[in-house]
Structure 1
Amino acid sequence: MDRRQRVLNFVVPHGRTGVELGPLSRPIVLKSDGNVLYADHLSTEGLRHQYRDHPTLGPDGIEGIVPVDVVLGEGGLPRALGSRGPVDYIVASHVVEHVPDAIGWLRECGEALNEGGVFCLMVPDKRFTFDHFRTPTSVGALVAAHLLRLRTPPPEAVYEHFARACEVDVPATWRGQPVPDRLIVGGPPAALDATATAVASGRHIDVHCTVFTPYSFGRVLTELLALDLLPFECAALEPTRPCESEFFVLLRKRSDLGAAARAATVPRLDPARHNALPPPASWPKRTRAAARRWVRSLRGRRS
């Protein structure tokens, strides 16, 4: 099953009204699937101007960018939708990691959903992306960004991106081969300069503000729900599949459940499979199993 079909199975767009955030030239939910609105931070023409030299838009280039139905601004999706909201579902592919205040953004999206509506997130697994050498984002970092109402990436995220971004061969990493330390941005000296410039100018530098593995995301989501910071239950958390680099999260708006009950809906993932790197493929099966048991025992002694 390809990623598009997985999303369609989650949100069931036929006969429903939904929003896809930031589809650019690769929408997942098509107009033929149902009543979907495409939302972005700029108009169609604004996006075509911003991405006029972007190398990843596909063969049609900027002309392939789909017409934007909803232009986001202050107040986020609920205000931008106006009388067209609330909606039955929201889809966001590789969006959450770019948002400086992820908690605030998730709460805004929750306001744009009908009760029982679903929010489908596709999140890059940092183990298999250029974020490989970065540390997973903590609850504390997310809470701080929310309390500070950040509108630009936190300085530490800017630094970590420029200092750690690296080339990753996804299939090789899944086979257990170590990721070589080949930086693609510039390393610590460039990171210091970029961070100082961002702080001095207040300019928005587009980096991944948050980085997760499936396991770390599940831990963070459980705590945020327990703190009653998000109005969702976790309807699904599908870990990264072999030779892929993203995982899927389905949140459902549930105002009728208490915070503890919502937190209890997050599935418990195995840290050895969904947080650690795959063991080298050359290891015998017994050795790999022993290594996993050793990791689990080590974690148990630390807790």
Structure 2
Amino acid sequence: MDERELFVRGIILDPTKRILEIGPLNRPTVTKVDFPNCFYCDIRNTGQVKALYTGNEYLETTGIHVDVNTIVDIDYVLKESYKETFRGLEKFDYIIASHVMEHVEDIIAFLNDIASVLKPKGKFCIVYPDKRYCFDHFREGASFRDAYDVYRRGTSETARMVLDFYNTAIDENDAIVYWSAENITSFLPKNNTAKAIINYEKVINGKKMDDVHFWPFSAVSFLIFLYDCVRADLLPYTCIEFHPTQENSQQFMVALEYKPEILENGYPELENIRHWISTAPEDYYNSHFIQIKQNNIDLSQKVSTFNTELSLCNKKIDSSNSELILKSEKIKILKRENELLTFQNEGASNLIQNLSKKNEVLERTTEKILEKNDILLSRIQSLETIQNSTLWHMTKPIRTILDFMKKI
């Protein structure tokens, strides 16, 4: 589902309502399957539409291709006007014009004609190609001035729009090309001006062209056109939705609600349209954009300075990282040495524990020796006491005889 269909389905809340889609070609925004009371209308019958899109000057100029086998069947062929075409029939709750209004010769009369077949508070959904992002890119913008001139003096006054179209429209219709704005001057028109002048003369002489974009608007300039129509008491609608052209797209969307009292008092609607204009992105070059450009230059310089400083910081960081790597290696060596010392300390600790145990054994042995030594000393003292006694001296001859006898 593309953005056109999403937009329309966001407006049409009841799919059973009576709906008219104008100029659906091969891309209707509503289908009879999903919206059983929808009808298709065109200025040509189905066969004529297919014949037209088999090949024409419009297609050659714009580079557009349409598969005629995908063109939908037309239910109503437009007579003199929508009012006459649907006279006596039930009016519509919704009318849709997707990429249609730019092809209408008298756009102000068209808006009022559509109002004549809408129910009270009926909605008119408009999908419009933004001239900035389609083959109309290099064309002069449409204006209320030109539209009013055609409205007052007749469709022969569209001759200058026909001249502009055939002289300036190009055969590139890819929105991305215009959004990217790369080498855009290479697409400057190379059309045959003499041929464009011939078409201009045809319109002057009363001929209606097959297919032309008469009214190349941008999103904002279309709102300004509506604003001017309200000022001139020519627009019986209030704008209830506005979707500006999105990036890489080529169409904006507007929803109008039929409100005839605006023709009597348009001031509230002027305020309303001013609000919608204020919500849209700017589409013209002004002092604000000059300031933005200067700000971008200043910012670029600051970014350049910052990048230089960042480069110096990165060098310092690299140097610091090198030092950190060396210190990290030293820390690893110290860690290994510490592990070795820890291992050695554990060995020394074990040795000390063994020596401590041996020392305890030695102390116990020493204590025993000391105890025995005390006993021995006591005995010696006893012997000395005996030796010094009178009895010892009196028995000496007998000990001498016993010693002699032991030797025998």
TM bracket, shorter-chain basis = 0.7 to 0.9
CA RMSD of aligned residues (A): 2.9
Letter in 2 for 1:160: D
Structure 1 residues 88 and 188, CA, compared in 2 at 3 Å: closer, same or farther? Answer: same
Change (3 A) 1:289 1:77: farther
Give yes or no for the alignment of 1:71 onto 2:77.
yes
Change in CA separation of 1:191 and 1:44 when aligned onto 2, cut-off 3 Å:
closer
Q: Is the 8 A contact 1:118 1:250 kept in 2?
A: yes
**CA shift at 1:29, angstroms?**
0.6
Alignment partner, residue 263 of structure 1: 270
Partner of 1:175: 180
Q: Which amino acid aligns with 1:275?
A: D
CA 1:286 to 1:168, structure 2 compared with 1: closer, same or farther past 3 Å?
farther
TM-score, normalised to structure 1, is 0.83
Cα 1:226–1:33, aligned 2, differ >3 Å: closer, same or farther?
Answer: farther
- Residue in 2 that maps onto 1:46: 48
CA 1:13–1:44 in 2, change beyond 3 Å: closer, same or farther?
A: farther
**Matched residues, number:** 282
* Deviation string, structure 1 residues 222-271 (Cα, Å, up to 9, x no partner): 11012210110011121100000010011100124422222222134359
With 141-150 and 63-72 compared, the bigger mean Cα shift is at 63-72
1:276 equivalenced with 2:284 (yes/no): yes
CA 43–135 in structure 1, closer or farther in 2 if over 3 Å, else same: same
User: Which is greater in Rg?
Assistant: 2
Alpha-carbon distance in structure 1 between the residues aligned to 2:297 and 2:125 = 34
Question: What displacement does 1:64 show?
Answer: 2.5
Question: SS where residue 187 of structure 2 aligns?
Answer: coil
1:90 aligns with 2:95: yes
User: 2-side partners of 1:204 and 1:251: how far apart?
Assistant: 28
Please give the per-residue CA displacement for 1:124-166, whole angstroms capped at 9, x wherever unaligned.
110011111112111111111111232x671111111122112
Return closer, same or farther for 1:234/1:289 CA change in 2, 3 Å cut-off. farther
Separation in 2 of the partners of 1:269 and 1:263? 10
Q: How does 1:184-203 map to 2 (within 5 A)?
A: 186-200=191-205, 202-203=207-208
Unpaired runs of 5+ residues, structure 2, are: 57-63, 300-408
Q: Tell me the equivalent position of 1:161.
A: 165
TM-score by length of 2: 0.63
Q: 1:219 aligns with which of 220, 224, 231?
A: 224
Alpha-carbon shift at residue 67 of structure 1 (Å): 1.8
Instruction: Please point out which of 90, 98, 107 is paired with 1:102.
Output: 107
Comparing both chains, which one has the higher relative contact order based on Cα–Cα distances under 8 Å and sequence gaps of 6 or more? Answer: 1
Identify if the C-alpha distance between structure 1 residues 41 and 272 changes in structure 2 by more than 3 Å, giving closer, same or farther.
closer
Identity %: 27
8 Å CA contact retained: 2:142, 2:217: yes
- The amino acid across from 1:161 in the alignment is F
2:117 corresponds to: 112
Q: Which has the higher strand share?
A: 1
Q: What's the CA shift for 1:13?
A: 4.7
- Corresponding residue for 1:20? 21
Q: Which residue of 2 aligns with 1:297?
A: none
2:66 counterpart residue number? 57
Cα distance, 1:285–1:172 mapped onto 2, change above 3 Å: farther
Post-superposition offset of 1:284: 8.2
Say which SS state the counterpart of residue 57 (structure 1) adopts.
Answer: coil
Moved more, 221-230 or 119-128: 221-230
- Helix, strand or coil at the partner of 1:49: helix
Q: Give SS of 2:11's match.
A: helix
Q: What SS does the aligned partner of 1:47 have?
A: helix
Q: Give the whole-Å Cα distance in 2 for the aligned partners of 1:284 and 1:227.
A: 38
